[in-house]
Amino acid sequence: MRHQLKNFYRMKMLYLMEHQNSYQKIQRYRHKKCQSKKYLASLPTVSVVVPFHNEHWSTLLRTVYSVLNRSPEHLIKEIFLVDDASTKDFLKKKLDDYVEKNLKKVKIVRVKERSGLITARLAGAKLATADVLVFLDSHTEANVNWLPPLLDPIARNYRTVMCPFIDVVAHDTFEYRAQDEGARGAFDWEFFYKRLPILPKDLENMPEPFESPVMAGGLFAISRRFFWELGGYDPGLDIWGGEQYELSFKVWQCGGRMLDAPCSRVGHIYRKFAPFPNPNHGDFIGKNYRRVAEVWMDEYAEYLYQHRSHYRRIDPGDLTEQKELRKRLNCKPFRWFMTQVAFDLIGKYPPVEPEPFAKGTIRPESHPQLCVDARRGKQMDKLYLKSCMEDAQSEQQFIFTWHKDIRSKSRNICWDLPDSTPLKPVVLYSCHLGGGNQLWRYRPDTKLLKHGDGAKCLDWNRETRDLYINWCDGSATQRWTVDSVDQKMMAQWDKVMDRVTGPTNDY
């Protein structure tokens, strides 16, 4: 018995040490200054809403226990686990019994038939009674002191919506690791979630919360009052998809704002496989996107349809109520959102890819029978000059794209300069879409093909016919012709690029 007891204490010690270690490890991910940040003494209470469909036992409970263990106790009023018609046995009576016995604050809500996470979140939100709604996925881990950084800005202004930083809990080892040090949420014109860089003024201000145009999805805090003023989610949105855009647009356009809180971190298991079949609801994502676009995006909806033309034919259903809501709340136009909040989105994800500013073959002015070629037997990576011809052994058609790179017409491969010391070769490398050592510029007036900041030019060796880089001196071997140069595009060029990267030197 004594022996056993000793063992028990030893195990307990080990457990505590282990616990302490992982606690410190998790703690470490937060910005250094988070530990000394002060929050309002009196913060609003919280109803946590967690929808789940066939979630695993351990991950579901990890969500609940991390919330309970890592929040000030008095702030958590209730946790709703909303069962979106799961079919696994253990999520029924076994879960009910476990919760009944161990988790006083947890309430299980059952949705009658599978209706998706939007309906499930709404079901939980409707029952909630606390000041603030916090939505979480069912496979998350709330990090150390995650809650006050979300609640403090809401307490000061109830129209503020807060998102935590989302970290990664590995799906195979359950290890917790940081995703990165944050970004602003955005989208492209196929409605894929994208990210924009944190603004310099916000970087300086770290770890204070910063404005973000759209939320990533399921992890956020909003005052119950503001959520319902905004009509919750559009109940016409089916299953999942587009709801994060709908709510984000509404928040911004209808008098609120959305912030990311660097000191609040929540780990999320990014799934490898969706463990459940898709419900048989047709193209529900297309329908959802269409609803969001029609109600909130004004003339910008057209860009979405240009990329996904079949959306035009999807019936979005009745939009009367959503449009009335927008009018009643006197919400701002989408143009305002795009120019004031997501002002750098168009530059990074242009709705219409600008035309290339030049294309075709590139030849030395003095030797127009030679063309730059990107296919040199085994040495595929080195550019050189070869007789102009169009056959399977040649690759002589290039595009000067709006990214300011020079790309092969037939492959996703760009002119690259790993080493910009004079006389170093120009090689081919996968395009990295803008900037760095793939930045080129053609001047039709001087016929120079300049690299990077403009001090060095494309040149060639008459003996080997290799292409290399050298100081621009205007010598004959630095003058090039390009088949077709779009003068109008060239003129717009600087304006476009200035918006993307800030003004650059004249080169």
Among candidate residues 206, 204, 249, 205, the one with its CA nearest the CA of residue 230: 249
Does 53 contact ligand UDP by CB under 6 A? yes
Does 55 contact ligand UDP by CB under 6 A? yes
Does 52 contact ligand UDP by CB under 6 A? yes
Peptide bond into 207 cis (omega under 30): yes
The distance in angstroms from the start CA to the end CA of the chain is 83
Number of residues that bind ligand UDP (CB under 6 A): 15
For residue 55, the partner it binds in Mn ion, ligand UDP, none, with Cβ less than 5 to 8 A by kind, is: ligand UDP
Q: Which of 78, 84, 137, 466 binds Mn ion (CB under 5 A)?
A: 137
Does 288 contact ligand UDP by CB under 6 A? no
Does 248 contact ligand UDP by CB under 6 A? no
Whole-number Å distance between alpha carbons of 459 and 242: 50
**Residues 76 to 95 in contact with ligand UDP, rule: CB under 6 A:** 84
Q: Find the part of the chain contacting ligand UDP (CB under 6 A) among 19-27, 115-123, 396-404, 419-427.
A: 115-123
Whichever of 124 and 364 has its CB closer to ligand UDP, that residue is 124
Whichever of 51 and 425 has its CB closer to ligand UDP, that residue is 51
Binding map of ligand UDP across residues 214-243, x = CB under 6 A, - = no contact: ---xx--------------------xx---
Whole-number Å distance between alpha carbons of 247 and 240: 13
Does 360 contact ligand UDP by CB under 6 A? no
Does 120 contact ligand UDP by CB under 6 A? yes
Minimum CB distance to ligand UDP, residue 162 (Å): 19
For residue 442, the partner it binds in Mn ion, ligand UDP, none, with Cβ less than 5 to 8 A by kind, is: none
Q: List, in sequence order, the alpha helices (H) in 176-277.
A: 200-204, 224-229, 243-253
Contact 247, 133 (CB under 8 A): no
Whichever of 271 and 462 has its CB closer to ligand UDP, that residue is 271
Minimum CB distance to ligand UDP, residue 111 (Å): 8
Minimum CB distance to Mn ion, residue 219 (Å): 9
Contact 266, 136 (CB under 8 A): yes
Contact 357, 493 (CB under 8 A): yes
SS (H, E, C) 21-53: HHHHHHHHCCCHHHHHCCCCCCCCCEEEEEEEC
Minimum CB distance to ligand UDP, residue 318 (Å): 23
Q: DSSP character for 296?
A: H
C-alpha 503, offset from chain centre: 26
Q: Find the part of the chain contacting ligand UDP (CB under 6 A) among 21-29, 47-55, 288-296, 468-476.
A: 47-55
In 157-278, beta strands by DSSP E: 160-169, 176-177, 184-187, 193-196, 210-211, 220-223, 257-268
Minimum CB distance to ligand UDP, residue 68 (Å): 18
Residue 121 exposed, middle or buried by CB count within 10 Å (0-12, 13-18, 19+): buried
Q: What's the token pair of residue 72?
A: 């000030």
Q: Which residues bind ligand UDP (CB under 6 A)?
A: 51-53, 55, 84, 116-117, 120, 137-138, 217-218, 239-240, 271
Q: Which residues bind Mn ion (CB under 5 A)?
A: 137
